[in-house]
Structures are given as structure tokens and as C-alpha cells.
Structure 1
């Protein structure tokens, strides 16, 4: 892989990761509800999804999905259903008064990880990138595993940076969301955004 190809890849990943999507929204929401430290478990689930998608793409799953439209559609519909479910769950999330204790039981680390993993695997941006764009940066005339390691490590570093940015932003936003009416508005806006991401995935084909 030529250096200029790597720079092109890093630039593309940096911009794609920075734009708001299900992953970053999920990190911010978990940071608001449970704090940046517990949001780390959500980040771990999201990062696991990133690694699975990139490795699957490198193994040829992207080509398989293109060759088997029914399989791709099945995965796409499952992702749509999960994002819509997240949207409904966010819309209906309970709110707590600023002067009252939060009645919700904090989710376990395993639950946070599983939710992050599910969100990541249904993320339309990640699916499109892994299936359509990621393989384009692999030079077949050069050592495969070395290139794969560099590309995956670069993605992990950039993605972790943006997770941290959104998590810290969520911590700051949590103070503004203390009043119950603002929490309710945020929950409904978040719900609509997740449903919108589901709609985007429904209307897209690799």
C-alpha cells in the first residue's frame, strides 16, 4: 500500500467517523445517561462491530453480499428493524426530575457492550464502508496481512478518537438536560434520528 493511498484512507475514515451516525449518537446517549466511564463498555461493543465488519470485508463477505442479493437484503432488514427498535426505545425512555434520583437501574457492562455491538452491526455507514470502500484500499500486489493490520489499526485509532469526543460532549450536554422537559425533547429527537438512520439503510443498496 502506497503512502498516498494510506493518507487517502485516513482522510476518508476521519471524515466518515466524524459525521453523526448511529455509532456516535449511541456513544453520546450512553454518556449522557450513564457517564463517560460506563460508556466505555458501549464503545467496546461498537469497536467490536467495526473489527468484525472490516475483517469480514477483507475475507470477501462484501463480494458475497453483492453476489447474493437476498442475503444482503436479509441483513439489511435486520439492521433496519434494530435501528427502528432503538428509536422507539429512545422515544419512550423515562425522564427524571432534576431534583430527584434517577429511578432507572444502571445496565450491566455486558448489556452496554451488547447494545453497542448491535448498534454497530446495524450501522449503515459501517456496512457501506466495509462492503464497498474498504476493499478498494487493499493492494493485491503487496503483503495482505501487513496492509490489513495497518488499515484496521488506523480505523480503530480514528474511531476511538471520535468516540471520546462524542462521549465528552455527552457529559457536557447532560448538565443542560437536567430539566425533565429537555430530557423528553432529547429522547424524542434521538428516537427520530435512529429511525431516520433505519430509513436510510432501508433505502440503500451496496
Structure 2
């Protein structure tokens, strides 16, 4: 790959990371509650990307997407995860102070798991590796090495992106205000619910439309 191809790929990756989605919601919410929780969530998200990268490098992503009903199952699973997490975040905003402290402690321990599950079941991440990545890999000699290099670039780029995101959130001082934390939790829960409902609706429409 030449410099122009790498620049185009970097731009595509930047756009994919910058578009608001469940990963961003989780990182922002976690980072306002502590650097450790934010970092744990980000590491979980990157681990989910590593899973996608390994599947893509092994050629399993293309097979998964082309398998009848496989993408639908991933979309439904992803929607279920988002609805559950969104409802959990909204529940914490209605908790008493003691219950909120317990929820905070529980969520701090589960940051990695939430990040991993959210990204691993995120159809957007799957489609990035299935649709965007192949455009830069091409065919012929060295295709396998280019796949590995691009997958590694995605993982490293995402890690850097989330590190900068956490640093900016802490720099602006959102973590110092209980009111800001509550508002971010509320907005984050609503956002996850809306994304989950939207994904569920688009999946249902895709299932129904062939018969209409």
C-alpha cells in the first residue's frame, strides 16, 4: 500500500471512530466516573476490535456476513445488548445515594466486560471489517500481509482514539460534578436505548421488506 492508500484508510477509520455510537457512549460515561473505569471500558472495546480483526484476518468475517441470517442474528444480539445496557444506565439515575454507590462499584468492575460485549456484538464494527477493509486490501501477492497490517492499524488507532477521548473528558473536569455525571448517565442511557431501538427496527424492516 502506498502513502495515499494509507491516508485514505486512516481517514475512513477516523470517520468510523468519530461517528457517535455505543462505544463512544460507554467510554464517555465510564471516563466521567474514573480513569481506571474509562481505561477498562476502552480496553474491552479494543479487545472486541481485536476479535473482529482476528476473524477478518482468518477470512471468517466474509463467510459470516455472506451466511444466510448470520448478520441478522448479530444485529438482533447487538440490539438486545444495547437495550439492556441503556436500561441499566437509566436505572442508576433513579437509584438512591446508597444504591448508586453500589451500582458504581459494580459497574467499575464490569467496565471491561461491557466494552468487550458491546463492540463484539456491534454490527458497525463487523461491517467495517467486512465492507471497508477489503477495499484497501485488494488481491494478489501480499494480500494476507496487508490484511494483518490493516487490522493491526485499526486496533492501534482505536486504542489511541479512546486514550485521547478519556484524556479530554478528564481535562474538561466532567468527573468533578455529580450533576454532570448524572446527566451524562441519563443521556447515555437514552442514547443506547435509541440506538438499540433503531437497530432493532432496521433489522425488522430488513426481514419484512422482501415479503412486501
Task: Say yes or no: TM over 0.5.
Answer: yes
Deviation string 1:132-187 (CA, Å, 9 cap, x unpaired) is: 21122212213134212321232123212220232123332222x423xx544332
Deviation at 1:19, TM superposition (A): 2.3
Deviation at 1:110, TM superposition (A): 6.1
| Pairs aligned (count) | 199
Q: Residues of 1 paired with 2:193 and 2:81: CA distance?
A: 9
Q: Per residue, is there more helix in 1 or in 2?
A: 2
Q: Which runs of 5+ in 1 are unaligned?
A: none
Q: Which runs of 5+ in 2 are unaligned?
A: 207-212
Indicate the RMSD between aligned Cα atoms, in angstroms: 2.6
Cα distance change on mapping 1:151 and 1:131 into 2, 3 Å: same
C-alpha contact (below 8 Å) 2:26/2:188 kept by paired residues? no
| Structure 1 residues 21-32: aligned runs within 5 Å | 21-32=21-32
Equivalent residue of 2:9, what SS? helix
Q: Residues of 2 paired with 1:183 and 1:40: CA distance?
A: 17
Q: Residues of 2 paired with 1:37 and 1:57: CA distance?
A: 30
1:189 to 2:187 alignment:
yes
Q: Residues of 2 paired with 1:163 and 1:31: CA distance?
A: 10
Deviation at 1:64, TM superposition (A): 2.1
TM-score normalised by L of structure 1:
0.83
Cα distance change on mapping 1:144 and 1:70 into 2, 3 Å: same
Extract structure 1 runs of 4+ deviating beyond 4 A.
Answer: 94-97
> Which residue in the other structure is 1:82 paired with?
81
